[in-house]
Structures are given as structure tokens and as C-alpha cells.
Amino acid sequence: MLVLPLCFVLVFSFGERAPAGGYVPAFTFAQYANLPARATAFKNTLMLAPLGTLLSLLIAYPLAYFLAMRADPKWRTLLLILVIVPFWTSILIRSYAWIFILGGQGLPAVIDWLGFGQVRLINTPFAVLTGIVYGYLPLMVLPVYVSLERLDKRLLEASADLGAPPMRSFLQVTLPLSLPGVATGCMLVFILLMGEFLIPAMLGGGKVFFIGNALVDLFLQSRNWAFGAAVAVTLVVIMLVTVSMYMWLMRRIGGQRDDVAMM
């Protein structure tokens, strides 16, 4: 179920576009040679997807830390529900809400009223970045929360008894032990962002294209299935390389942490 569709896409990527659209069997690398035509989509995706993942982590970690380590246990369940409440509503509706917030009658109007002049927020990379961070933040919060919630609090007590200040305990105990949750959250968000197309289409206004938008255009509008397959194969290869390097780095960090613990 996973390999067979990818095989079809790979075969299509070496074909040609039929005169009326679609696919004609062939064996040519012309589609891959034409990849620079979608360089903007690749650039936007490879810039905004990692940046969105990083911003989601920077926002999610303090929130997850508060929920797991500081929040009153009797309120913890309610707070977790509030984190996932946005998932109860379609991403389409939430994106429309951000169109209003970032549109001319929303936040820019407030900024202008405060005397900072007119600014344009909608149909910009900032709008897309805001939308993807908002949309995927819960997927980052939950794995980090689970990792922190399972942390043995006695380790923190032992660190304090040995005279370590709170920040040192966090850097040497809490943060290393929460890395599996951080790795999982980053993986989930990054992989989904690499294929995102709805948020860029709505908040980017056709000016901030992701690879997902390029694929929708190639397969459904211009019906250039061969070129669309080549773009899709390239995206899969980029993700495989990136994820493999990320997992290797996480294993290396985990191995170094275990070595330090043994010493």
C-alpha cells in the first residue's frame, strides 16, 4: 500500500505529458531537467517548513513544560483539552479566521490606528508562517508533554539536593530526558508541513507557493502528470534525506547522553 503508489509515481516521472493532458509512457529525464521551473515552490517550502517547525517547538516547549511540571493536576486535563480544541474545527474554517485577522480590517487596521502606519500582513510569508504554526502547534505540544509528564521527578529532587541551580537542572536533566518528545514532535510537524498546500493557498493568496500547491496545480489544473510526478519524487527524496539525517543526529545525541550518564 505504501510502495506500489510510489512506484507508479516514479514511473510517471519519466514519462511525458499527453497533448490533452495526462500521461504518455516514455523514458526521459526532461521532467527532472525542468525542476528549476518550480524553484520558488521548493525554496518557500524548504525555508518556511523548517522555520515553522522551529517556531512551533519554541512555543510548544514552554507550554508543555507548564502543563506537565507546573500546572495543578486537577486542571491539567482541562488545559490539555484546550490545547487540542482547535482540531475540533476544520483547518479551512480556522484559515478563514486568520484571513480576517491578518486582512485589511483586522490586525493591520489596529496597527494603523495606533499610529504605526499601514502594513500588509495577508498574502505574505509572515501570514503563511503564522497559519502553519497555529495549525500544527498541538502536534508539537502533545509529544513534548508526554515526554515531560513521564519524567521521574526524583531526578530533579536529586539534582537540587546536589546543589544544582534550577537552570542547570533543566539543561542537564529535564531537557535531555525530553528529547524523545521533541524529536517526535519535530518529525510530525516537519513532515506534514513539507506537504502542506491549504494554508499557503489561503493565507499566501497565490503569492507564497509550497510544493503541495505546485502539485495541485500540475495534477489538477495543467494536467501535467509527468512533471508533477517528478516534483513529487523530488519532494520524497528531499524528505527521506532530511529525516534520515535528523534521525542520525538524534541517535548520536542520545548515545552521547547515555555515555555521560554511565560515566
Phi and psi, residue 22, nearest 5°: 115, -135
d(Cα 260, Cα 254) in Å, to the nearest integer? 10
Return the closest-CA partner of residue 67 out of 136, 135, 142, 140. 142
Q: Is the full-model pTM beyond 0.75?
A: yes
The count of other CB atoms within 10 Å of the CB of residue 149 is 15
- pLDDT of res. 260: 44
pLDDT in tens, 214-225: 999 999 898 999
d(Cα 233, Cα 32) in Å, to the nearest integer? 10
State the DSSP code for 101.
H
Q: Which domains does the chain have, with CATH numbers?
A: 3-235 (1.10.3720.10)
Contacts of 203 by beta carbon, 8 Å cutoff, 6+ apart: 95, 98, 99, 102, 122, 123, 127, 128, 130, 131
> How distant, in Å, are the alpha carbons of 65, 94, 184, 215, 243 from that of 131?
23, 9, 21, 20, 23
Decide if pLDDT at 102 tops 50.
Answer: yes
pLDDT band at 263; cut points 50, 70, 90: very low
Decide if pLDDT at 261 tops 70.
Answer: no
What type of residue is 56?
S
pLDDT in tens, 7-33: 999 999 999 999 888 999 999 999 999
